[in-house]
Amino acid sequence: MQTDTLSGGFAAPATDAAHAFRAVMEAMARPGSRQTITGAQPPAPISPAAGAVLLTLCDTDTPLYLAGDADCDALRGWIAFHTGAPLVGPEDCTFALGTWDALLPLSAYPLGTSEYPDRSATLIVDHPQWTGPDATLRGPGIRDTAQLPLPDLSAFQTNAAQFPLGLDFIFTCGDQIAALPRSTRVS
Structure letter (DSSP) for residue 111: B
Confidence of residue 2 (pLDDT cuts 50, 70, 90): low
Range of the domain at 84: 3-186
Length of the chain: 187
Taking 70 as the threshold, does the pLDDT of residue 129 lie above it? Answer: yes
CA dihedral over 125, 130, 131, 133, signed as positive or negative = positive
Total domains in the chain come to: 1
Condensed to tens digits (0 to 9), the pLDDT of residues 86-114 reads 999 999 999 999 999 999 999 999 999 99
Q: Per DSSP, what are the bridge partners of residue 171? A: 125, 178
pTM exceeding 0.85:
yes
Confidence of residue 12 (pLDDT cuts 50, 70, 90): confident
CATH code, 178: 3.40.50.11310
